Amino acid sequence: MKPWRNPGLWLVLALTVAISVWPALASNKAYTREVSFTILKAVALASSLNILLGYTGYVSFGHIVFYGMGGYVGFYLLDVHNAPLYVAVLAGGLASGLIAFLLGRAILRLRGAYFALATIGINEAARAFIKNFDLFGGPIGMSLNFNVYKSYGGPNQALWIAFISMAALTLVITVVSFLVKTSRFGLGLMAIRENEDAAEVMGVVAPSSKTWAYVLSAIFPGMVGVLFFFKNGNIEPPDAFNLHQSIETIVMVMLGGYGTVLGPVLGSAIYQRLRGLLLVSPLFKNIQLAVAGVLLLIIILFMPAGVVGWLRSRFGALRRVLE
């Protein structure tokens, strides 16, 4: 089936576009833009992680390392070399992809919990390294010179540019996620997820398939990192390599439904709305990670296939629409 003939693709795109145009229609545009940016960023991170976690079945706990690394590389280019935003974004994605390629060869031999632990170790090691890396500002990090925003028509204009870029990038990621899922490459990944040994016997070249899945799932977080820290104006090791954010991304994938294209989009939207509500409550503000943990437990126990998986099994007719 041609991809554009698949209603599943259109549903995912419609949802992503709806989140993106919402600020243009809202009365408080600046505020809504920030909320929408946060959701889009979550969608982008979750959909990227889903290529590895959902399609390939490898749980990467420290996936945020690619967001941090890409963010740092892009930020450095923006700050020190006055690079245009798009160059910084591409460089950030490239850097993360390259790191994943080099790491992947080594750690993708590990399976299950060993792989998950290794990814946490890598994130912590990256944070420690950057803390001592003077070129990137060491423990203090870097701050953008205000003049950088001038070339984008001032800080306010720059915020809109960051937002629109984020929306476009998220759209690209959801399309890529769909194309991967419906391709031969994606079928190979899912075969690996279901039974790696059997997949190899069938002819799936697991080592290289896994590596490319890992690279793909790392490139986009790298680009997202650049956009976020450009908007943020400064970058520091704790923000770039925040394990909490990594775990929240896993929760969003699981909540929506791992291994589906729509799942991470829906899961991110639901989780971010929930988080927004909890953050205003003083009671929940300090325990939001605990809430995420409990939520993850509930999903795994009662809805292991997530919202999309549940809908698919409950309403057979929806299968054609929910990819």
Partner 1 sequence: MTGQAQTPILQIQAVSKHFGGLQALSNVTFDLPEGQILGLIGPNGAGKTTLFNCINGIYPPEQGHVIFRGRDITGWKPYRVARTGLARTHQIVQPLNELTVLQNVIAGASFGHEHHPLSQAREIADQVLTFVGLAERRDALAAKLNVAQKKRLELARALAARPYLLLLDEVLAGLNPTEIAEMVDVVRAIRDQGVTILIIEHVMHALMNVSDRVIVLDYGEQIAEGSPDEVANDPKVIEAYLGDPKLAQQMMLAE
Instruction: Kindly list the residues in this chain that would bind partner 1 in the complex (CB under 8 A).
Output: 183-184, 187-188, 190-191, 193-195, 197-206, 259
Q: Nearest approach, Cβ of 2 to partner 1 (angstroms)?
A: 10
CB nearer partner 1, residue 184 or residue 314: 184
Shortest distance (Å) from residue 47 CB to partner 1: 19
Which of residues 153 and 194 has its CB atom nearest to partner 1 in the complex? Answer: 194
Task: Give the three-class secondary structure for 62.
Answer: coil
DSSP class of residue 134 equals G
Nearest to 99 by CA among 238, 227, 224, 221: 221
CB 152 within 8 A of CB 94: no
Identity of the residue, 145 or 183, whose beta carbon is nearer to partner 1 in the bound complex: 183
Of residues 133 and 185, the one with the C-beta less far from partner 1: 185
Q: Kindly state the smallest distance separating residue 280's Cβ from partner 1, in Å.
A: 39
| Minimum distance from residue 56 beta carbon to partner 1 (Å) | 13
Question: Minimum Å distance from CB 208 to partner 1?
Answer: 9
Nearest CB to partner 1, comparing residues 53 and 191: 191
Complete DSSP assignment for 179-212? HHHTSHHHHHHHHHHH-HHHHHHHT--HHHHHHH
Q: Is 205 left (phi over 0), alpha (psi -120 to 50) or beta?
A: beta
Residue 264 CB, shortest distance to partner 1, in Å, is 17
Nearer to partner 1, 120 or 305 (CB): 305
Report the distance separating Cα 166 and Cα 151, nearest Å: 19
58: left (phi over 0), alpha (psi -120 to 50) or beta: beta
CB nearer to partner 1: give 112 or 154: 112
Identity of the residue, 243 or 305, whose beta carbon is nearer to partner 1 in the bound complex: 305
* Smallest separation, CB 259 to partner 1 (Å): 8
Q: Which two tokens stand for residue 92?
A: 């950030």
Distance (Å, whole) CA 266 – CA 46: 10
Beta strand 234-235 with 142-143 is: antiparallel
| Rounded Cα distance, 245 and 71, in Å | 14
Rounded alpha-carbon distances, angstroms, from residue 83 to 57, 74, 88, 141: 37, 9, 6, 18
Q: Closest Cα to residue 225, out of 72, 27, 50?
A: 72
The C-alpha torsion from 180 through 186 and 189 to 190, rounded to 10°, is: 120
Task: Kindly state the smallest distance separating residue 187's Cβ from partner 1, in Å.
Answer: 5
CB 80 within 8 A of CB 144: no
Of 134 and 314, CB closest to partner 1: 314
> In the complex, what is the shortest distance from the CB of residue 193 to partner 1, in angstroms, rounded to a whole number?
8
- The residue with tokens 């500002």 is 137
Number of residues in the chain: 323
